Structure 1
Amino acid sequence: MSTDDPVPTATSWTAPTAATTPATAGDATLRATVRVPGSKSITNRACVLAALSAGTTLVREPLDSRDARLMLAALRELGATAEHTADGLRISPLTQGDGETHVVLGNAGTVARFTPALAALGERTVHFDGDAAIRRRPLSPLLDALRTLGADIEDGPGEPGAPPFTVHGHGGLRGGEVDLDSSASSQFLSALLLAAPAFDHGVTVRLLGEVPSEPHIAMTLDMLRRFGAAPERRGREVHVPPATLTLADYAVEPDLSTAAPFVAAPLVTGGTVRIVGWPRETTQPGDWLRSLVAELGGEAVFERGADGSDVLRVSGDGRLAGRELDLHEVGELTPVVAAMLCFADGPSRISGVAHLRGHETDRLAALATELTALGGAVSETADGLVIGPAPLHAGTFHTYDDHRLVMAGAVLGLRVSGVEVENPATVGKTFPGFVDAWHAMLGAV
C-alpha cells in the first residue's frame, strides 16, 4: 500500500459558510449526523502492540490515513506482516531478519517515536528519515533514553538526536531503569512503555519535568493491559515488566480529536450535530470536548442510534462567551478551539500548551499569524494564546502542512465567507475524507 496522502492534492479549498446565519436557540437549523474514522493514536498503538505480540491480531475499524499507512509500512520494513481483510487489519509479529532497511517517517510523530525501539529489538540495520518537518520535531530525549537501555543508535549528518539516524539492531534490548524528560511530547514515554514488554528486564522510567497530555499516557497503559502486560504507575515512576503479549481481536474507537470541528460546528452556527460511535468510556483526550460544550453553553448528551450504537448529540445556539482554558492535557484540540473562540463575545485565553511549538509546526505561532491575518485579535503568550473579539474577513488561511490547521480553517469558514484553506490534502494525515464529510454536514453535496 502506498504511503502517499490518500486524498487529491489541491492548493486551496474554500471552506463553506453555514447555510444560515448564526441561529438563536429557537431557530437552530444545522441538522447533521456524521461518522469520523478510527483514532490515529489508538490505531498506531494497536499496530505496534500487535507487532510485538506472540500471535496474530485482528485490528478492527483501524484508521486509514497517511500516518497509519506510514506506520504499517514501517512495521513491514521491520519484519511484521500487515494484511487488510474484510474485517479490518490482520497483523502478524515482527521477525528478526538481517541486512539493511529504510523506514520512511513522513511527518508522523508516532512513527518516528514508536518504531526506533522496535528496530533495536531486531537484527537489522535500520535507517530512519522523513519529511523536512519531522527533522525539526523533538526526538533527542527518546533516542538518548533508548541508548541508556542498550540501543545502538547512530546520528546522521543532520542535527544530533533528530532524523536522519540509524538503529543497529543486535537482537534485543536489556531495558532497565532510565530517566526521561517527556515534557516536549508524551509520545517519548509511550514509545518506551509500548516496547518495554519485549525488553529483557522491562523498563522503569523515572520522569523528569511535566508530561503533557496525560490522557495519552493513560491510553498507552490501558492498551498494554489489554494486550497482557502489567504496567504500574507510581507517582513519577512507570514500570512495565517483561511480558508475552497476545490479543486476538481489538476494535479501534472513533477519533474524538478528529471529531472536534464537527463538535464545534453547532456551537458556532447553531443547530445540532450527532456523532456516531462516540464511546461512553474512553481514555481519548478528545472526550474533554463534552465538558467544553457544556462550559460554552451548549449541550452534549448521549443517545442510542437506530443500530444500537452510542451517538453523541451536540447542540448550540451560535453564541459563545470568552473563556480561560488550560489545554495542557488536550493540546491537539487547540487549533479548533482557538478558531471557535475567535467568535466569542469577550476575550479568551488558552494556556498550558507550550509543547505545541514542537508539533507538526509551531502551532502557536501559526495560529497567531493566520488568525491575525484574517482580522483576529490573537497574540502568543509563553504557553498559549490570547484571543480578543474582532470581526474576521476573507483571506487565505495557511496550514503549514498541519492537518489540525485545516480543521481550524474549516471552522472559521462556518461564519466567514471567502476563507481559502491552503493545501487541504494535508488533512489526509488523519482524515482523508474530511472535506467531503464537512460539505455533507453542511448540506453542500
Structure 2
Amino acid sequence: MTTPDPWPAPHAVDPVEATVSLPGSKSLTNRALILAALADGPSVVRRALRSRDTELMAAALSSLGAEIDTTGDDWAVTPHAFEGDATVDCGLAGTVMRFVPPVAGLSRGRVDFDGDEHMRNRPVGEVLGALRGLGVDVSEGDRIPFRISGRGAVRGGTVVVDASSSSQFISALLLAGARYDEGVDVRHDGKPVPSLPHIDMTVAMLRSHGVQVDDADANRWAVAPGPIRAVDHVIEPDLSNAAPFLALAAVAGGSVTVRDWPEATTQAGDALRGILTQMGSEVALTSAGLTVTGSGTVHGVDLDLHDVGELTPAVAALCALADSPSHLRGIAHIRGHETDRLAALAAELGNLGADVTEHPDGLSIRPAPLHGGVFRTYADHRMAHAGVILGAAVEGVLVENVATTSKTFPDFATFWAGLLPAGVGRS
C-alpha cells in the first residue's frame, strides 16, 4: 500500500498497551560489517539490520572486494583482497562516508565516493586530512565527492584530529587501524568529543576481534597493528529507534515494552531509561524487556545531551508536550547530522505552535498550545520520529516524507500505525 505524503500521523485517544520487537542497531551492524570485511577469515553478522544505511555499507564493502551475502537475516561475510577500482554511494549514511575511506586506503585501485545532495554538507574533512597524514592518497578537498587512490597498504602512525563535531571521525580511524603497518594512534585536540558511547562501542567491538586498543588516556586511542580475528556478531536491537515507541507510552498513557533490551550496552539509546524517568514515566527493565508506563502527563527537563545527541529530536518533541519548561544543551554537533537538527526542530516545533528558542548549542522549549499542520523531516529519520510523537498527542499532524525512516527502520509507518489499539484513531 502506498504511504501518502505528507502522512497523517495516528492520534491516540486512549492509553496504549503494546509490546514491540525492534530491528537491529545500525551502528552495531555497520561496525560489524567493516570488521568482518577486514578480518582474517569468514564470519556472520546475525540479526543484521536491513535498512538503506546498512545496505549501502554492504554494497560499499562489496565494491571493494568483500563477499557479503545479505539474502537472509544473518549476513555472511567473506573477506577478499581489495583489488581494482570501485565507486561508493554513501547515500545519506555518515558511517559509510566516514568509515569506508580508511578501509579504501588498503585497496589497490581508485575508489570514488559520492552520495545524496545533502551529504555534501556533512563534515568528513577531519577523516580525509587524517588519512593524508597517515600516508593515504586522497584527492583535494574536504567534502564529497572525493577519491582515494589505494596502494594496497597504509603506513599508519600518530594523527591529531578535531572530533568535536562527530565521534565518527575517531571510530573511522580505529576500525581500520589494526591493518595499518604501524597501527594508528589517534589524538583528539578540540572541544569535548560528542557521543562518546559510540567510541566505546567501537573499542569494545575491536577488542572482541582480538585487536589491542589502548584508551587509558583521555582524548587518545591507540590501536596496535595486527590481525583482526573473524568473529560472529549478534546485533542488539537499535535502542535509539526505541525512542518514539517508549515516548508513545509517555504521551498517550499506558505501557509500551521493547523486547530484548540488553542489561549492559554501549548504545546511546540506553539513556532513554533515565530521561523518561525524569520526564515522569515509570521505567522498568525485566526479562520481558524495557517497559515504560506513562500517565499522559510529561514533565519538562534540563538535560545535557552531548553524549546522546541522536535522541534530541524525540526528546524535544516530548518537551514540546510537557507541562513545564525544558532546556536541551550540549548538542551543537547535531547541526552536522542528516540536517541541522537544532534549526529544523526549532522551525518545525514552532510551526505547530511550540514556544521554542534556538541557542548555538541547544533549545529552550516552554509550554504552549499545539495545533496540527505539516511537520517537515528534511530527509532525516530522527525528525520523522519527532513528528509521529507529536502526532500521537496532537490531532492533525501530517509528517512529510515519513518514508525517510527506512534509513534505520524499514516500513516504520505501517509498524507504528499497527501498534495502536482499536480505541486510537487517525488524525
* SS of equivalent residue, structure 2 residue 324: coil
Whether contact under 8 Å (2:46, 2:75) holds in the other structure is: yes
Deviating more after overlay: 103-112 vs 228-237: 228-237
1:10–1:79 CA distance, 2 compared to 1 (3 A): farther
Cross-structure match for 2:246: 263
Cross-structure match for 2:103: 118
1:277–1:322 CA distance, 2 compared to 1 (3 A): same
Q: Distance in 1 between matches of 2:80 and 2:158?
A: 25
Residue in structure 1 matching 2:322, options 321, 336, 344: 344
Cross-structure match for 2:64: 78
Deviation at 1:439, TM superposition (A): 1.0
Deviating more after overlay: 249-258 vs 292-301: 292-301
Deviation string 1:203-239 (CA, Å, 9 cap, x unpaired) is 1111111210010010000000111101111222110
Q: Does 1:362 align with 2:340?
A: yes
Cross-structure match for 1:247: 230
Q: Does 1:417 align with 2:395?
A: yes
Deviating more after overlay: 8-17 vs 245-254: 8-17
Q: Does 1:186 align with 2:159?
A: no
Residue in structure 2 matching 1:12, options 6, 12, 15: 6
Deviation string 1:139-191 (CA, Å, 9 cap, x unpaired) is 11110001000110013xxxx20000000000110100000101111000000
Whether contact under 8 Å (1:19, 1:442) holds in the other structure is: no
Q: Distance in 2 between matches of 1:19 and 1:243?
A: 58
Letter in 1 for 2:381: H
Deviation at 1:263, TM superposition (A): 1.1
Cross-structure match for 1:313: 291
Letter in 2 for 1:218: D
Q: Distance in 2 between matches of 1:59 and 1:279?
A: 18
Cross-structure match for 2:152: 171
Letter in 2 for 1:19: V
Cross-structure match for 1:4: none
Residue in structure 1 matching 2:197, options 215, 219, 240: 215
Deviation at 1:436, TM superposition (A): 1.6
Cross-structure match for 1:154: 139
Cross-structure match for 2:39: 53
Q: Distance in 1 between matches of 2:3 and 2:395?
A: 23
Whether contact under 8 Å (2:39, 2:227) holds in the other structure is: yes
* SS of equivalent residue, structure 2 residue 105: helix
1:162–1:8 CA distance, 2 compared to 1 (3 A): farther
Q: Distance in 2 between matches of 1:166 and 1:399?
A: 31
Q: Distance in 2 between matches of 1:354 and 1:248?
A: 36
TM-score, length of structure 2 as denominator length: 0.96
Letter in 2 for 1:278: W
Deviating more after overlay: 10-19 vs 54-63: 10-19
Aligned residues: 421
Whether contact under 8 Å (2:320, 2:365) holds in the other structure is: yes
* SS of equivalent residue, structure 1 residue 282: coil
Q: Distance in 2 between matches of 1:437 and 1:303?
A: 24
Letter in 2 for 1:254: P
Cross-structure match for 1:388: 366
Letter in 1 for 2:27: S
Q: Does 1:69 align with 2:50?
A: no
Q: Does 1:93 align with 2:71?
A: no
Q: Does 1:302 align with 2:285?
A: yes
* SS of equivalent residue, structure 1 residue 204: strand
Q: Distance in 1 between matches of 2:226 and 2:170?
A: 18
Identity among equivalent pairs (%): 50
Deviation string 1:312-347 (CA, Å, 9 cap, x unpaired) is 111111111211111000000000000001111111
* SS of equivalent residue, structure 1 residue 44: helix
Q: Distance in 2 between matches of 1:394 and 1:175?
A: 54
Whether contact under 8 Å (2:83, 2:109) holds in the other structure is: yes
Cross-structure match for 1:308: none
Cross-structure match for 2:255: 272
* SS of equivalent residue, structure 1 residue 124: strand
Deviating more after overlay: 311-320 vs 61-70: 311-320
Q: Does 1:39 align with 2:33?
A: no
Whether contact under 8 Å (2:166, 2:194) holds in the other structure is: yes
Q: Distance in 1 between matches of 2:68 and 2:104?
A: 17
Deviation at 1:10, TM superposition (A): 4.7
Whether contact under 8 Å (1:79, 1:97) holds in the other structure is: yes
Unaligned runs of 5+ in 1: 1-6, 21-28, 306-310
Deviation string 1:415-436 (CA, Å, 9 cap, x unpaired) is 1111000011111101012112
Letter in 2 for 1:14: P
1:9–1:232 CA distance, 2 compared to 1 (3 A): farther
* SS of equivalent residue, structure 2 residue 169: helix
Deviation at 1:87, TM superposition (A): 5.5
Whether contact under 8 Å (1:8, 1:425) holds in the other structure is: no
TM-score, length of structure 1 as denominator length: 0.92
Q: Distance in 1 between matches of 2:136 and 2:267?
A: 31
Q: Distance in 1 between matches of 2:244 and 2:117?
A: 28
* SS of equivalent residue, structure 2 residue 17: strand
Q: Distance in 1 between matches of 2:326 and 2:251?
A: 15
Deviation string 1:386-409 (CA, Å, 9 cap, x unpaired) is 101001101000000000011100
Letter in 2 for 1:109: G
* SS of equivalent residue, structure 1 residue 221: helix
* SS of equivalent residue, structure 2 residue 291: strand
Whether contact under 8 Å (1:9, 1:423) holds in the other structure is: no
Whether contact under 8 Å (2:24, 2:49) holds in the other structure is: yes
